[in-house]
Structure 1
Amino acid sequence: MTTPTDDEIRTRVLDAADRLYNARGIQAVGMDALRAEAGVPLKRIYRLFPAKDAIVEAVLDRRHRLWNSLVEEAVASTPAPRDRLLAIYDMLARWFDEDDFRGCVFINTFGELGTASPRVAEIVRAHKAEFQARVARLCAEAGAPEWLAPQLAILAEGAQTTAAIAGTNAAAGHARAAAEILIGTALSEERT
């Protein structure tokens, strides 16, 4: 039997941390629970991650990359610039239907640790700013005015929070309907 590599152990720890943090919250998950879930001795975990903060940051990094790939996939599969903006809300509806959906990990983490951890606050703000910049690029490609992007981003953020609380994907449909109205208004203003 071969000994798992550091990369394999790192993946197991981050998978376990992601599951536990998503289900219970970061502060509710101690290192012993993480050790048990990952099946990795604490000594090995601490060799790979010097502190729990490093695990939290690595989980957020993975979630950031996952979010970006979901947005890119949704946008790439939609040829019309206007429809690419709406594809974000369709992607949200699919995500909200997943069994393990508990809301936006960035919003949840900020709520738990944002005031106590400047590094977490920085990571969350950077993630949200990057999403807003992506929406702004999509708006520009559709020929929409600059004011539209922050409004569409806020709709997406609000849908995530509402879906987590309500336990349904209905918020994505409501956000999409509002986005269609905003986009229609913005594009008609640009033509006049």
Structure 2
Amino acid sequence: MAVRRLIGKTYMKLLGFKAVGEIPTEAKVITLAVPHTTNWDLPNMLFYCFSTDQRISFMMKASVFRWPFGGFFRAMGGIPIDRSKKNDTVAQMVKAFEESDYLNVVIPPEGTRGRRDYWKTGFYYIALEANIPIVLGFLDYARKEVGYGPVLHPTGDIEKDFEKIAAYYKERGVQGKYPKNQSEIRPRPRD
């Protein structure tokens, strides 16, 4: 852990990022990684977590967990998701939370690095069904800050909960590396 922490702190210092906010104390949480506008968001978040001695996890398609990279991705916190089971990601993640004593899954709710008119809502339903909180995490390239905001306990009223989420990020003014790619903070319309 000491070597990992040193590597993380050195990386953060080289990038000029500083850690802000309180690290979640809950044993099981979903942390939002907002905004998601570049491939560098994941390594930047990982090195931030290394620098603060946090263990995080993230979802990846199961096919990337084959040899020779599978062990590496698992060691970094990767959770393989079988995407062949359509719309079963929520159930797979609820099961992962049920089987874990500690799990902080970082999810970029935009789902892509390009601009969208809404966020994907899987994170919300995972938290609701697993009865765990959502931590409003951020990676702000304008201020060079990375960290955590408030904790939200989903109520089941997705519209009202999204209003709270949007209000926090708007008030904080979080900016991605490519601000024009940031998506609107509203739930994906129901089909």
Q: TM-score, normalised by structure 1?
A: 0.28
**More contact order relative to length (CA 8 Å, sep ≥ 6):** 2
Q: TM-score, normalised by structure 2?
A: 0.28
Higher helix share: 1
Structure ID, larger Rg = 1
